[in-house]
Amino acid sequence: MYNILFEKMNYLKRLLIGGFAMSLAVVKLQAQASDTLIVLTEINITENRLSNFNAGSTVYQPSKDLLGEKSTLGLNEVLEFLSPMNIDAYGTGSASINARGAGSNRTPILWNGFNLQSIANGATDISTLPMIFADDIKMEMGGNSALFGSGAVGGVIYLDNKANYNTDKNSFITISGGSFERFNGASGIQFGTKNYSGAIRTFFSQADNDFPFTGEYTSGGTTTTVDQNLPNANMHQFGVMSNNHFRLKNGQNISVHLWYQDVDKQIAPTVRDLARGNTSDAEQRDKAFRGAAEWKAPLKNGLVSVRTGLFSTKTHYEKPSTSSHTNTTGLASVNEAEMDLNLTNWLKWNLGVNYTYEETESSSYEGANNRNRYAVFTSFGISNASSGTFVSINGRGEKAGDSDFTVTENIGVTQQIISGLSAKAKAGTSYRIPTFNDLYWFSATSIGNPDLQAETGFNYEAGLHYQKTFASTKLQLQATWYNNSLEKWISWGQREDGIWTVFNQDKAEIKGIEVQADLTTDFKKGSAGININYTNQDAIDPDTDNELAYVPKSKANAAVYAEYSNIRLMYAHSFVNERYTTASNSTQMPKYDLGNLSLEKQFEGKIDAILSVKVNNIWDTNYETRQYYPMPGRNFMIGLQISLN
């Protein structure tokens, strides 16, 4: 299985050696021109590309005040209540993200610049991503394949880990428990010297998830009501992450990030399964190892960086009652070299290459499958401080396996109108290659399609952004109109013989508006704030004029908090409108409202502590985000965090 990989790794080694040699040569030439090199600031790939080459984009970043004590938060909760993105939750077992109606496999999650999407199915289960493993989170709406490659169609989520040099050692431990036998634990230690910054964090979660629910299933004109506790829904999750940053001579930096995760869960039955009397005994175990390293060296007028990542996954699924089981393994090696130059005080230039090797093997494939991906990319950032103008131009060419060489590009502009108020606009192309499941899946009920073509698209957006500080009050407003036209849309559907298969749909049209408001104020002994997001969109199949499945017409959420004398109260509310469940628009799911309330009390002393109480789904809403997958009603959590400095 790995012979091909070793051959490719030998090729990769030559490629990286060549890249290092080119980089060192540039460094040497720059050093000969000047004895003084720029000392690198601690900026990562995400910050560099977002700040220098992403004009006209819509980016959201939840404030630390809104996130609160994030050791108890999952990424799914942050996105549900603090972003315009939509959440598709398959009960409590898994959840995916949907930005601007494009779906989870068109909304990549980047960890320190590396894509976390599964190479098997293109999705990322956000319910298994604890916020304690991220120092920083940003959400960009809209396509950005020119900067980040295949799959960046509806939006991009950025999770980053940052260096903390010259900091005292501090550690924490958090425990929490609540309804449905749920228990969470987290711990971490962090310290930094002049030339080293290190952090280790762990996370554990387990729950029975045997909550009561009421659901309905209709077949043949007969409706069956299911009213019981959810069976076979137990879940155990463990993860550990290590982040290390090193300062070397001549201003060079090296960072190493390691992440291991193990999720063992029962697959809860759907309402349809229970109404039909099907046996509920399916289980799934997912293991993942993620490793990333980056080397950066300063130039006279910029920097050069080389990064590499190795991502290994293993999934085992079994259902004893039907004697079915599936084993799937995935391996990805991602390697990139790039150079940033400040050509003038108003012009920045980025140039880089990427080589990625991907391989999967599954008992549902006919043998192992692999592909090589090659990419070259370049960007220009043009800024004029006096006129308040920022323009970026990005281009990327990529070849994946036997597919054609694909070029994506975009151009964006941000123009200050008056103090605090800017207009923005952006237009570009996007694309997404088929996943291995799309191409090679083979079972009794579903078959992949090896003849699939890559999706392509054209997207554009325009809007206004206002940001102002009044004494101790900060206000931010932004409104964006967008349009995303996608061709060769990859979609699964049933054939006449009942077998599911995948095909290239002719087209999909998605357009809408987004509005975001954020207001915070500080006062003596405390602070308060409110965050509001609203999205209204039309996601249409032009051939039928039907709406795309599971894309709500509108979504709105708001979070308000107040903190005084180390007591913090927060309420978050989310509204999701109706959405169709099929491409034919024959069935529709009802709209729902969801609210969470949390209270935290901080105790300061030689040992700091935070006591928290949280009520999820405080209005006890009976709802589903995916048809027939019940969600829990009102439930409670109580937690304690202890910190040592």
Task: Report the amino acid identity of residue 405.
Answer: F
Q: Which helix (H) or strand (E) holds 407?
A: strand 406-418
For residue 70, the model assigns a pLDDT of 63
Task: Report the amino acid identity of residue 406.
Answer: T
Task: Report the amino acid identity of residue 572.
Answer: A
Residue 421: pLDDT over 80: yes
Least confident of 2-11, 142-151, 206-215, 260-269: 2-11
Domain extents for the chain?
A: 3-324+332-644
Across the range 4-24, mean pLDDT stands at 36
The owner of tokens 């088929």 is: 434
For residue 629, the model assigns a pLDDT of 95
pLDDT digits (tens, 9 = 90+) for 107-144: 999 999 999 999 899 989 998 999 899 998 999 999 99
For residue 27, the model assigns a pLDDT of 35
Give per-residue burial for 53-67: e unless 16+ CB within 10 Å, then b: bbbbbbbbbbbebbb
Task: Show Cβ contacts of residue 458 under 8 Å, excluding neighbours closer than 6 positions.
Answer: 427, 428, 429, 430, 484, 485
The owner of tokens 């604890």 is: 130
Distance, CA of 98 to CA of 539 (rounded, Å): 12
Q: For the chain, how many helices (H) and strands (E)? A: 7, 35
Q: SS3 letters for 431-464?
A: EECCCHHHHHCECCCEECCCCCCCEEEEEEEEEE
Task: Show Cβ contacts of residue 367 under 8 Å, excluding neighbours closer than 6 positions.
Answer: 361
Distance, CA of 425 to CA of 428 (rounded, Å): 11
Q: Which residues pair with 299 in a beta bridge?
A: 302
The owner of tokens 């280790």 is: 200
Distance, CA of 332 to CA of 360 (rounded, Å): 9
For residue 43, the model assigns a pLDDT of 57
Q: SS3 letters for 544-582?
A: CCEECCCCCCEEEEEEEEEEECCEEEEEEEEEECCEECC
> Which two structure tokens, joined as six digits, stand for 616?
């999820």
* CB count in 10 Å sphere of residue 13: 11
The alpha carbon of residue 301 and the mean position of all alpha carbons in its chain are separated, in whole angstroms, by: 32
Residue 391 pLDDT class (50, 70, 90 cuts): very high
Residue 366 pLDDT class (50, 70, 90 cuts): confident
Closest by CA to 114, choosing from 272, 307, 254, 295, is 307
For residue 42, the model assigns a pLDDT of 54
Q: Which residues pair with 393 in a beta bridge?
A: 380, 411
> Which two structure tokens, joined as six digits, stand for 242?
């290590």
Residue 645: Cβ-neighbour burial (10 angstroms; 0-12, 13-18, 19+) = exposed
Which tops the pLDDT comparison, 17 or 176? Answer: 176
Distance, CA of 563 to CA of 521 (rounded, Å): 11
For residue 404, the model assigns a pLDDT of 86
Angle at 377 between CA 409 and CA 380, to 5 degrees: 70
Pairing of β 347-362 and β 324-342: antiparallel
Across the range 470-479, mean pLDDT stands at 94
Residue 2: pLDDT over 80: no
- Percent of the chain at pLDDT > 90 equals 76
Residue 594: Cβ-neighbour burial (10 angstroms; 0-12, 13-18, 19+) = buried
> Which two structure tokens, joined as six digits, stand for 268?
């809860």
pLDDT digits (tens, 9 = 90+) for 397-410: 999 988 889 999 99
Q: Which residues pair with 422 in a beta bridge?
A: 416, 465
pLDDT digits (tens, 9 = 90+) for 574-595: 999 999 998 899 999 999 999 9
pTM of the entire structure? 0.90
Q: Contact 313/287 with Cβ under 8 angstroms?
A: yes
Closest by CA to 356, choosing from 394, 311, 395, is 311
Closest by CA to 35, choosing from 298, 348, 296, is 298
Task: Report the amino acid identity of residue 313.
Answer: T
**Phi, psi at residue 168, to the nearest 5°?**
-70, 155
Q: Contact 193/165 with Cβ under 8 angstroms?
A: yes
Q: Which helix (H) or strand (E) holds 52?
A: helix 45-52
> Which two structure tokens, joined as six digits, stand for 175?
């425990």
Torsion of CA 25, 28, 32, 33, to 10 degrees: 70
Across the range 447-452, mean pLDDT stands at 92
Mean pLDDT, the chain, as a whole number?
A: 89
Closest by CA to 483, choosing from 171, 180, 101, is 101
Give per-residue burial for 565-589: e unless 16+ CB within 10 Å, then b: eeebebbbbbbbbebbbebeeeeeb
* CB count in 10 Å sphere of residue 517: 16
Q: Which residues pair with 580 in a beta bridge?
A: 588
Distance, CA of 608 to CA of 592 (rounded, Å): 39
Residue 9: pLDDT over 60: no
Polymer length of the chain: 645
User: Terminus-to-terminus CA distance in the chain, angstroms?
Assistant: 48
Q: Contact 157/97 with Cβ under 8 angstroms?
A: yes
Across the range 308-332, mean pLDDT stands at 94
For residue 568, the model assigns a pLDDT of 94
Distance, CA of 578 to CA of 599 (rounded, Å): 31
Q: Contact 203/185 with Cβ under 8 angstroms?
A: yes
Could you tell me which CATH class the domain 3-324+332-644 is placed in?
mainly beta
Closest by CA to 12, choosing from 372, 254, 474, 301, is 372
pLDDT digits (tens, 9 = 90+) for 37-92: 334 445 566 667 888 899 999 999 888 777 766 666 788 888 888 899 999 999 88
Residue 514: pLDDT over 60: yes
